[in-house]
C-alpha cells in the first residue's frame, strides 16, 4: 500500500514510523512531514499543504489510504472532500469533527447522550455571562467555543479574573470569532488522562491510557503548552477507573454516534478528569494526541495499518489490539521561550547516539544539517520493563541530545 500522512509534528513522525514497520506498507508520503519523517524507512516528504493539491496528489499517486494527523484539516472537512473524489481517508467527517471544533456542540452532545461531564452553561452575550459569573462560586472554568490554539480555556479564581477573561474572549475578540460564544463550566478537581481510541462508527476500541504533561514548567507550573511529555500507560487509570470510563463515557458516546448517524471512522481522543466523585469527560478530540501518540504507538504490538484497515472496512468488532507489556516515557525537548517567543535555526546533534527513539517536530533539514525550526523540537521516547527505568532511559538520552537553547521538563512521569 501507499500511504499519505497529513501533518508535520512529532505525532505524524510517530505514525509514519509505526506504519513503516508494516509488511503491508510499501511507500509513505508525509505532507509536509519534518526532518525525522524524511529519514524514516519507506518515507518521503512532500511539500504540499493545500487541500486541492493534496487531493490531486492522492489521485495521481494512487494513494491507498490517507491519514490526517492534526485537527484543523478535519474540522475544515478534508475527509468529506477526499471521499467525494473516491479516495480512502482515515478520519471523521466535517459534521463529526465538530465534536472538537465546537465546545458548545460537544457539551450538548454529551448532555443529550448522558456522557458524564462537568455542569455548564453557554453564553453569547458578555453582559449575561458577567451576571452569571458575579453569582458563581470559584474557581470556575471559562472556555472559548471554537479553536483557540490551546489558549481558549481559563480557570478563573475570582470574579475579577473571570471578568477579564470575558472582556478578552467576547469583547476584544482575541480569538477572532472563536470566543464570541463561551462555555462556563464547573471546575473539576482531579488528575487528567488521555484515552485514545479507534472507531468505525459501530464500536469504539480504546488504546492503552496515557498521561500528558501540559504545563511548561516542572510540577505543572506556568502556561499551558501543546504538551511537554507523556507516559503510557497512565498509572491513575486503574481497572476501576477504566470500567467507569467505559460505562459512563465510552458507551453513551457510541450510542450518540449511532443515533446521530455520525460518519466517523478514525480516532476518538477522550480527555478525562479522574475525580474523587468519579471519572468525567473534559473534551473530545477527533485525532491522536501530541505527544500522547509518541508514547502510545511504540507499545502497540498489533500492526497499526491493520487497525486502520479494519476501521475503514467497518470491521472493528472483530479486532483485538495487542499491547506490549512495557512502559513508555516520552519527554519533549523544546526551544527555550516556548510557548511564547523563541529562537530557531540551531543545529541538532547526537540524534543517532541514543538508546530509545527520537521523534522530531520543529526540526528541518537545511544545508546538510538538522536544525531547530519550532517550539517543540523533538521528543525522546523510551520503552522499558518498568516506569522508573523508562524515565531513566529517556532522561539519559536527552542529556546526549544537543542544541542551543534546549529546554525540557525534568519531572515527566514522576
Site residues for ligand GLY per CB under 6 A:
212, 227, 285, 289-290, 292
- State the minimum distance, in angstroms, from the CB of residue 254 to ligand AMP: 21
C-beta closer to ligand GLY: residue 185 or 292: 292
Q: Which set of grid coordinates corresponds to residue 125?
A: 452575550
- State the minimum distance, in angstroms, from the CB of residue 212 to ligand GLY: 4
Peptide bond into 339 cis (omega under 30): yes
Sort residue 112 into left (φ over 0), alpha (ψ -120 to 50) or beta: alpha
- State the minimum distance, in angstroms, from the CB of residue 147 to ligand GLY: 12
- State the minimum distance, in angstroms, from the CB of residue 214 to ligand GLY: 7
Question: Which residues, in sequence order, are CB contacts of 174 under 8 Å at separation 6+?
Answer: 168
What per-residue string of b and e applies to 336-351 under the rule 16 or more CB within 10 Å gives b?
eebbeebebebebeeb
Cα 128–chain centre separation: 33
d(CA 413, CA 411): 6
Given ligand GLY, ligand AMP, none, residue 141, with its beta carbon under 5 to 8 Å by kind, binds ligand AMP
Q: Which set of grid coordinates corresponds to residue 136?
A: 458563581
d(CA 289, CA 227): 9
d(CA 296, CA 273): 19
- State the minimum distance, in angstroms, from the CB of residue 142 to ligand AMP: 10
Given ligand AMP, ligand GLY, none, residue 187, with its beta carbon under 5 to 8 Å by kind, binds ligand AMP
Given ligand AMP, ligand GLY, none, residue 290, with its beta carbon under 5 to 8 Å by kind, binds ligand GLY
- State the minimum distance, in angstroms, from the CB of residue 115 to ligand AMP: 14
Given ligand GLY, ligand AMP, none, residue 285, with its beta carbon under 5 to 8 Å by kind, binds ligand GLY
Q: Are 299 and 18 in contact (CB under 8 A)?
A: no
Decide the pairing of beta strands 27-32 and 182-186.
Answer: unpaired
C-beta closer to ligand GLY: residue 87 or 267: 267
C-beta closer to ligand GLY: residue 332 or 370: 332
d(CA 9, CA 334): 13
Given ligand AMP, ligand GLY, none, residue 153, with its beta carbon under 5 to 8 Å by kind, binds ligand AMP
Q: Are 147 and 106 in contact (CB under 8 A)?
A: no
C-beta closer to ligand AMP: residue 88 or 214: 214
C-beta closer to ligand GLY: residue 10 or 356: 10
Q: Which set of grid coordinates corresponds to residue 55?
A: 487531493
- State the minimum distance, in angstroms, from the CB of residue 72 to ligand GLY: 12
Contact positions vs ligand AMP (CB under 6 A): 118, 141, 153, 155, 185-188, 192, 214, 271, 282-283
C-beta closer to ligand GLY: residue 202 or 224: 224
C-beta closer to ligand GLY: residue 69 or 133: 69
Given ligand GLY, ligand AMP, none, residue 227, with its beta carbon under 5 to 8 Å by kind, binds ligand GLY
Given ligand GLY, ligand AMP, none, residue 289, with its beta carbon under 5 to 8 Å by kind, binds ligand GLY
C-beta closer to ligand GLY: residue 227 or 339: 227
- State the minimum distance, in angstroms, from the CB of residue 195 to ligand AMP: 13
Q: Which set of grid coordinates corresponds to residue 15?
A: 505514525
Q: C-alpha angle 166/170/172, rounded to 5°? A: 100
Q: Would you give the DSSP letter of residue 145?
A: S
Given ligand GLY, ligand AMP, none, residue 256, with its beta carbon under 5 to 8 Å by kind, binds none
d(CA 123, CA 134): 14
Amino acid at each position: 500500500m501507499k500511504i499519505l500522512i497529513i501533518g508535520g509534528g512529532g505525532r505524524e513522525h510517530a505514525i509514519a514510523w509505526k506504519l513503516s514497520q508494516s509488511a503491508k506498507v510499501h511507500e509513505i508520503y508525509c505532507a509536509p512531514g519534518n526532518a525525522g519523517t524524511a529519514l524514516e524507512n519507506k518515507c518521503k516528504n512532500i511539500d504540499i499543504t493545500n487541500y486541492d493539491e493534496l487531493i490531486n496528489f492522492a489521485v495521481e499517486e494512487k494513494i491507498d489510504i490517507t491519514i490526517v494527523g492534526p485537527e484543523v484539516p478535519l474540522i475544515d472537512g478534508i475527509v468529506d472532500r477526499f471521499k467525494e473524489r473516491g479516495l480512502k481517508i482515515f478520519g471523521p467527517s466535517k459534521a463529526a469533527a465538530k465534536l472538537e471544533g465546537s465546545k458548545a456542540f460537544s457539551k450538548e452532545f454529551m448532555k443529550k447522550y448522558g456522557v458524564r461531564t462537568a455542569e455548564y452553561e453557554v453564553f453569547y452575550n458578555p453582559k449575561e455571562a458577567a451576571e452569571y459569573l458575579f453569582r458563581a462560586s470559584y474557581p470556575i472554568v471559562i472556555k472559548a467555543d471554537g479553536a483557540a490554539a490551546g489558549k481558549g480555556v481559563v480557570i478563573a479564581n475570582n470574579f475579577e479574573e473571570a471578568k477579564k477573561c470575558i472582556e478578552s474572549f467576547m469583547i476584544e475578540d482575541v480569538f477572532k470569532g472563536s470566543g464570541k460564544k463561551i462555555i462556563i463550566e464547573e471546575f473539576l478537581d482531579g488528575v487528567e488522562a488521555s484515552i485514545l481510541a479507534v472507531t468505525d462508527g459501530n464500536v469504539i476500541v480504546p488504546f492503552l491510557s496515557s498521561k500528558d504533561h501540559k504545563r511548561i514548567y516542572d510540577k505543572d507550573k506556568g502556561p499551558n503548552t501543546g504538551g511537554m511529555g507523556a507516559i503510557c500507560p497512565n498509572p491513575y487509570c486503574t481497572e476501576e477507573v477504566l470500567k467507569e470510563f467505559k460505562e459512563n463515557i465510552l458507551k453513551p458516546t457510541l450510542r450518540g454516534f449511532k443515533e446521530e448517524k455520525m460518519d466517523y471512522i478514525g480516532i476518538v481522543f477522550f480527555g478525562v478528569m479522574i475525580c474523587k466523585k468519579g471519572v468525567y469527560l473534559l473534551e473530545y478530540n477527533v485525532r491522536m494526541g501530541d505527544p500522547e501518540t509518541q508514547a502510545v504507538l511504540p507499545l502497540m504490538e498489533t500492526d497499526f495499518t491493520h487497525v486502520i484497515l479494519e476501521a475503514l472496512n467497518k470491521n472493528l468488532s472483530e479486532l483485538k489490539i495487542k499491547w506490549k507489556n512495557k512502559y513508555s516515557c516520552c519527554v519533549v525537548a523544546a526551544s527555550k521561550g516556548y510557548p511564547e517567543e523563541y529562537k530557531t535555526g540551531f543545529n541538532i546533534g547526537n540524534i543517532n547516539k541514543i538508546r530509545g527513539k527520537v521523534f522530531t517536530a520543529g526540526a528541518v533539514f537545511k544545508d546538510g544539517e538538522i536544525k531547530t525550526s519550532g517550539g517543540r523540537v523533538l521528543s525522546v521516547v523510551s520503552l522499558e520493563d518498568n516506569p522508573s527505568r523508562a524515565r531513566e532511559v529517556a532522561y539519559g538520552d536527552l542529556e546526549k541530545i544537543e542544541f542551543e537553547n534546549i529546554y525540557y521538563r525534568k519531572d515527566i512521569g514522576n
